[in-house]
Amino acid sequence: MSDSARLQLGDKTYDLPIVVGSEDEHAIDISKLRAESGYITLDEGYSNTGACQSAITYIDGEKGILRYRGIPIETLAEHSSFVEVAYLLIWGCLPTKEQLDTFSELMTKHSFLREQIRHHFEVFPPGSPPMAVLSAALNSLACFYPELLDTEDVDVFEEAAARIISKVRTIAAYSYKHDMGHYLVYPHPEKNFCENFFHMMFSEPYKDAEPNPVLVRALDVLLLLHADHEQNCSTSTVRMVGSSGANLFASVSAGVSALWGPLHGGANVAVVDMLETIQAQGISVKDYVQQVKDKKAGIRLMGFGHRVYKNFDPRARIIKTQAENVLAQMDIKDPLLGLAEELEGVALEDDYFIERKLYPNVDFYSGVILRALGVPTRMFTVMFAIGRMPGWIAQWYEDRFITHGKIQRPRQVYTGPTEMCYVPLEER
């Protein structure tokens, strides 16, 4: 394979270097193209554009491979925990027992919210979208920890990271309790990361929630599976905001906003809405799939398809098995699981989905587990955000302090009017 690509523009040729990644991925480096030729490239939606070089997460969409720092997701789902994966993503290696304990203690220490932030929830009307509350609350942390805004010092960065990963869970639970009009429950220093989530969500002043360990482990795996996914929409947003020099709180707050959309993290809510609609309308799965294919109703099969995975999403396989196990072990009958399996069966046999390489993605079955955990549907995307936080932080840190990325500033091909005269108001 040549180490450069040749581009012919008119009678001029340009040699563009080839960059090769550690998994033999090849990219054409066009960073000097505009300066040398006056041309830019156009790639709407960035399907063919590498925005950075990154050593955090590897995906092979054709083979259904996902690895964090080289370790396959299947291995991590079986043997690791969310907190250990958070350390792995941020620091690049698995922690020793001592490092893991220190990191966990740091998160426990910083799981509380300042009392002023507790009052912050009171300004939101009941029924406020939990992703709006989460994004606002995360951004507001910058007001309380000015000493963490300059994160060049590694210890300062570690404290900021631990605070965010820990507090995002507290914020999520508080926003739920506030919305329900319930008493807010403080984190418990002796409970682990996931136990504390259940505690803050479901304990009452007179009764502590005691979640079944099956559910605690299911939550741990679910969060771990969401922890990073290379340069997706929200992660690219976090890197882009951070590339301007914006602080970590502002950057992850922007990530939450990007994740909210139904084509991204919001798909887990959309999947359950879709299954409930099918159930409520009593239409057959085949008829629903036909409506999707007709494209007249403007609906997509939510939880299907992925920009990168064109064979299968390895996270979807793990989540499906987890969902089946959780329901079986807890003896929960959820008709939505049966409906989801039927829908998957019909779609996977259908030429429309086969030709377009559309397979179930991580969001297709995650709602089934979240329902079993007792998490209300409107909070599903918040759960995705709790899981994705370590990935956003690792990617932000890599861009800022390891690869020292430039400010991200794409160009455009302008299609508006050419120079026009200004017409004074009275003459219009």
Candidates 77, 227, 301, 383; binder of ligand CMC (CB under 6 A) is 301
Helix or strand run (H / E) with residue 28: strand 26-28
Check residue 200 for interaction with ligand CMC (CB under 6 A).
no
Question: Which range of residues in 22-30, 145-153, 299-307, 372-380 is near ligand CMC by CB under 6 A?
Answer: 299-307
Between residues 113 and 383, which has the closer beta carbon with respect to ligand CMC? 383
Decide: 302 and 264 in contact? Cβ < 8 Å: no
CA distance 150 to 160: 10
CB of 95 to ligand CMC, least distance (A): 27
What are the backbone angles phi and psi of residue 122, rounded to the nearest 5°? -65, -20
Question: Which range of residues in 67-75, 250-258, 261-269, 374-382 is near ligand CMC by CB under 6 A?
Answer: 261-269
Candidates 163, 177, 178, 306; binder of ligand CMC (CB under 6 A) is 306
Candidates 161, 238, 302, 389; binder of ligand CMC (CB under 6 A) is 302
Nearest to 105 by CA among 87, 89, 118: 87
Candidates 93, 180, 263, 328; binder of ligand CMC (CB under 6 A) is 263
CB of 48 to ligand CMC, least distance (A): 12
Helix or strand run (H / E) with residue 363: helix 362-373
Check residue 363 for interaction with ligand CMC (CB under 6 A).
yes
With H, G, I as helix, E, B as strand and everything else as coil, classify residue 1. Answer: coil
Nearest to 103 by CA among 193, 228, 174: 193
CB of 367 to ligand CMC, least distance (A): 11
Between residues 61 and 72, which has the closer beta carbon with respect to ligand CMC? 61
For 180, the token pair is 């329900």
Beta-bridged to residue 16, according to DSSP, are: 5
CA distance 164 to 394: 12
Q: Which residue is nearest to ligand CMC (CB)?
A: 305
Nearest to 314 by CA among 225, 396, 238: 225
CB of 299 to ligand CMC, least distance (A): 8
Tell me which residues in 35-74 interact with ligand CMC (CB under 6 A). Answer: 45
* Amino acid letter, residue 214: V
Q: Could you identify the residue written with the tokens 């370590």?
A: 390
Check residue 303 for interaction with ligand CMC (CB under 6 A).
yes
Candidates 361, 366, 381, 395; binder of ligand CMC (CB under 6 A) is 361
Binding flags for ligand CMC, 229-248, as an x/- string (CB under 6 A): x--x----------------
Binding flags for ligand CMC, 213-232, as an x/- string (CB under 6 A): ----------------x--x
Q: How many CB atoms lie within 10 A of CB 49?
A: 14
**Residues labelled as active-site residues:** 306, 363
Alpha carbon separation from 344 to 21, 44, 208, 365 (Å, rounded): 35, 30, 38, 10
Check residue 267 for interaction with ligand CMC (CB under 6 A).
yes
Q: Could you identify the residue written with the tokens 């010092």?
A: 153
For 240, the token pair is 């882009």
Question: Residue numbers of the site for ligand CMC (CB under 6 A)?
Answer: 45, 229, 232, 263-265, 267, 292, 300-307, 356, 358, 361-363
